[in-house]
Amino acid sequence: MIDFPPAEFEARLERIQALMTDAGMDAILLCTEAEVRYFSGFRTQFWQSPTRPWYLVLPRVGDPIAIIPEIGAELMRQTWVDDIRTWSSPDPVDDGVSLLVDTLYGFNKVGVPMGEEASLRVPLRDFNTVREKCPAQFVDCSEYIKAVRIVKSEAEIAILRDICAIGSAAFDRAPELFHTGQPLKQAFRDFKIALLQEGAEDVSYLVGAAGQGGYGDVISPPDMTPLETGDVLMLDTGSTLQGYFCDFDRNFAIGHADDEAKQAYETLWNSTEAGLEHARAGNTCADLFEAMHITLGGGSSDVGRYGHGLGIQLTEYPSIAAFDKTPLQAGMVMTLEPSLTISDGKMMVHEENILITEDAPVLLTKRAVPELPVIG
Amino acid sequence: MIDFPPAEFEARLERIQALMTDAGMDAILLCTEAEVRYFSGFRTQFWQSPTRPWYLVLPRVGDPIAIIPEIGAELMRQTWVDDIRTWSSPDPVDDGVSLLVDTLYGFNKVGVPMGEEASLRVPLRDFNTVREKCPAQFVDCSEYIKAVRIVKSEAEIAILRDICAIGSAAFDRAPELFHTGQPLKQAFRDFKIALLQEGAEDVSYLVGAAGQGGYGDVISPPDMTPLETGDVLMLDTGSTLQGYFCDFDRNFAIGHADDEAKQAYETLWNSTEAGLEHARAGNTCADLFEAMHITLGGGSSDVGRYGHGLGIQLTEYPSIAAFDKTPLQAGMVMTLEPSLTISDGKMMVHEENILITEDAPVLLTKRAVPELPVIG
């Protein structure tokens, strides 16, 4: 069995089935990597190939049904899913559509994630055919999926704790890894190797930037520009273990830190402290946002939020944002990610990963030092 | 400018606009990573966050229009796209929908990829709102996107050549990297590090397997099972350079190769030879499939095809399959990937990457040795 014992998946299914019962929903149809994996345990990087569709049907009563290309049958058999229906894919005429229509026969109301953060990882043409051929009513079920996934199990938390520790150990090696004159692209590569050496299984996500006293953009790939004295280097990694992400960054001053950069760093660090104080079950995401926002003294950035959920995706619901009234609950794993505009085109970001409890949150990342560290 | 000069993108746009003119299509709406990147040059791993939608509109006349979250504006300004329209995302009420509807005003017929290999990387709810609010007719444009992307430019081929060389150099280090007793998970990690050391920017995709004389599954993540004498170890990597993939595998016998495994390897190697002989402009994918299939002597597997296109995605159109009548053209980059069932639950795969020319194809990967190499 990959990653988790069957009891983990039984509990997930039970929770969604209870919500389906309340909503009068007969089945849920899933076709995206995160959702199929969450309910089946089917974990493979093969999703990077866009060619084949994969479906998982969760009936309101009974066990999940996988409708998948034959190439995935052997791996699916290693999960807790017993009902596996396959076809030889790719098939340009009928790429699993008939098999799916047959599977949905008899269901009157079928949920499909259609709302915030959802996508449709099958051709729209195929999905429309399924809708036409099934007499069922298709409705949005994003809220229900969200409600189940948002609280992590002990087993999930254990993995998230491990990958955050791995990320922290790699960042601890910054003084040996990064130095003046090093092209940013090389710094990225060296850091990826360090993450793997520390135990990450994949470095799916590494973005970052460097610039004098701050940086202009936080989602770019690196170029060959060498690190210079006075640069602030920021690296933000979503590395994975058993398909679970950490997502946090660290800032380092190269050789020298100017006062403006030190000040920005301190402001962000304090904003995170405020976040740690207010990240309590019962508070809403909006409350948490407000507490962090005040400490930034009106400085804002274009990131759009100060953190988010974390798990089998780099970012998950909810958002730490003024609009998000989601109550924090024990078992949620979140990032705290305040960002600050220093001056036109120059910003700084800071990020930690935490577990929400009934009491004070538990830091999963090793807390950043309170003053901008100077290395190199 | 990231990755390519503007002329590269101008040529891409020109080609799609010519097809749009023929089809009477006023604009094309894109929302997926590969398509947005292909036409804009916008390259970031930030797509791994499912939270924010990103749109690119290609009008039949004029330049592309990016409708994107503000967090991506700075990076988009580094591309050749000048018309960048942003909003503060995530916005639970209107996540770019109004901005997109305004942008599409005046277009009567809008293409959206809806067919084979396409997906919709925005909430279906939002897409439906756009359809309702725009008087335009929305039609499938998958074929046009495919027709443009299928032939690679000289600049793209140069990058693909480089990443294949990097992958080949990493595989050359197999004798030092893999050995009896090594857990498969460790072999994966060591190989990822080797790929990065050889120059890969990311190891997005690494799957593989090991088993006595063959393996049962080719898309699983690795476990802690140690490599044993008599195992065949297969590693299949999609590593990237500037966002372009190699996609090929190698097989290694650990300590000893049994006759059945040697025979299967030879058969697959010969099938690839047949592929190299028939991979000629003018032949169809089906012709190529047939030539490779004959050499396998009726042995088949569940993979569903013997190769595919390659570029900014791990797998691209077309498929080397009996159903795919796409004519091969000079400039297409393909994988040749025959697979063979050795016995029940035991298979072997082999893969090379090639460039189609008017004459013999050019191997981008360093050709595998003709006999199953024994290492460890």
pLDDT at B1 over 70: no
Residues 353-372 (B) with a CB less than 8 A from some CB of A: none
Angstrom distance (rounded) from CA A210 to CA A257: 13
pLDDT, residue A229, reads: 98
Tell how far CA A157 is from the center of its chain: 14
The CATH number given to A6-149 is: 3.40.350.10
Distance from CA of A125 to the nearest CA of B (A): 5
pLDDT tier for residue B344 given thresholds of 50, 70 and 90: confident
Residues of B in contact with A305 (CB under 8 A): 90
**How many CB atoms are located within 10 Å of the residue B375 CB?**
16
Q: How far apart are the first and last CA of chain B?
A: 45
Interchain pair B112, A118: CB under 8 A: no
The shortest CB-CB distance from A196 to any of B91, B193, B217 is to B193
Angstrom distance (rounded) from CA B310 to CA B262: 28
Spell out the CATH class of A154-375: alpha beta
Interchain pair A308, B51: CB under 8 A: yes
CB of A69 within 8 Å of a chain B CB? The answer is yes
Angle at A37 between CA A36 and CA A39, to 5 degrees: 70
Rounded mean pLDDT of B90-115?
97
Please tell me which residue of chain B has the smallest CA distance to A50: B117
pLDDT digits 0-9 by tens, A46-69? 999 999 999 999 999 999 999 999
State the best of B51, B84, B301 to mutate against chain A, taking most chain A CBs within 10 Å: B51
pLDDT digits 0-9 by tens, A238-286? 999 999 999 999 999 999 999 999 999 999 999 999 999 999 999 999 9
pLDDT, residue B302, reads: 66
pLDDT, residue B330, reads: 98
Angle at B161 between CA B155 and CA B167, to 5 degrees: 140
Residues of A in contact with B218 (CB under 8 A): 71
Residues 145-164 (A) with a CB less than 8 A from some CB of B: none
The shortest CB-CB distance from A92 to any of B122, B217, B323 is to B323
The shortest CB-CB distance from A71 to any of B69, B74, B219 is to B219
Interchain pair B189, A196: CB under 8 A: yes
- With H, G, I as helix, E, B as strand and everything else as coil, classify residue A190: helix
Interchain pair B114, A120: CB under 8 A: no
CB of B193 within 8 Å of a chain A CB? The answer is yes
pLDDT, residue B220, reads: 87
pLDDT digits 0-9 by tens, B178-200? 999 999 999 999 999 999 999 99
Angstrom distance (rounded) from CA B100 to CA B134: 9
pLDDT tier for residue A297 given thresholds of 50, 70 and 90: confident
What percent of chain B has pLDDT above 90?
Answer: 95
pLDDT digits 0-9 by tens, B213-262? 999 888 889 999 999 999 999 999 999 999 999 999 999 999 999 999 99
Residues 93-122 (B) with a CB less than 8 A from some CB of A: 93, 95, 112, 114-122
pLDDT, residue A184, reads: 97
pLDDT, residue B137, reads: 98
Task: Give the burial class of B94: count Cβ atoms within 10 A of its Cβ; 0-12 exposed, 13-18 middle, 19 or more buried.
Answer: middle
pLDDT averaged over every residue in chain B: 96
pLDDT digits 0-9 by tens, A76-103? 999 999 999 999 999 999 999 999 999 9
CB of A346 within 8 Å of a chain B CB? The answer is no
* pTM of this structure: 0.97
Angstrom distance (rounded) from CA B279 to CA B269: 15
Angstrom distance (rounded) from CA B233 to CA B214: 8
Angstrom distance (rounded) from CA A48 to CA B241: 16
pLDDT digits 0-9 by tens, B274-328? 999 999 999 999 999 999 999 998 666 666 799 999 999 999 999 999 999 999 9
pLDDT averaged over every residue in chain A: 96
pLDDT, residue A302, reads: 66
DSSP B165-231: HHHHHHHHTHHHH--TT-BHHHHHHHHHHHHHHHT-SEEEEEEEEEEETSBS-SSPPP-SPBP-TTE
The shortest CB-CB distance from B302 to any of A71, A93, A117 is to A71
pLDDT, residue B298, reads: 66
Rounded mean pLDDT of A166-183?
98
Distance from CA of A79 to the nearest CA of B (A): 11
The shortest CB-CB distance from B44 to any of A46, A207, A345 is to A207
pLDDT at A344 over 90: no
Interchain pair B45, A221: CB under 8 A: yes
Looking only at the bridges linking them, the beta strands covering A83-87 and A65-69 are parallel
The shortest CB-CB distance from B116 to any of A123, A238, A321 is to A123
Rounded mean pLDDT of B108-135?
97
Distance from CA of B38 to the nearest CA of A (A): 15
Asked if residue A368 lies in contact with residue A250, where contact means CB atoms within 8 angstroms, the answer is yes
CB of A315 within 8 Å of a chain B CB? The answer is yes
Asked if residue B328 lies in contact with residue B284, where contact means CB atoms within 8 angstroms, the answer is yes
Helices (H) and strands (E) in chain A, counts: 11, 18
Residues of B in contact with A125 (CB under 8 A): 114-115, 118, 140
What percent of chain A has pLDDT above 90?
Answer: 95
pLDDT at B82 over 70: yes
pLDDT tier for residue A376 given thresholds of 50, 70 and 90: confident
Interchain pair B90, A321: CB under 8 A: yes
Rounded mean pLDDT of B361-368?
98
Residue ranges of domains in chain A: 6-149, 154-375
pLDDT tier for residue A299 given thresholds of 50, 70 and 90: low
pLDDT digits 0-9 by tens, A140-152? 999 999 999 999 9
pLDDT tier for residue B120 given thresholds of 50, 70 and 90: very high
Rounded mean pLDDT of B115-128?
97
A&B contacts, CB < 8 Å: 206
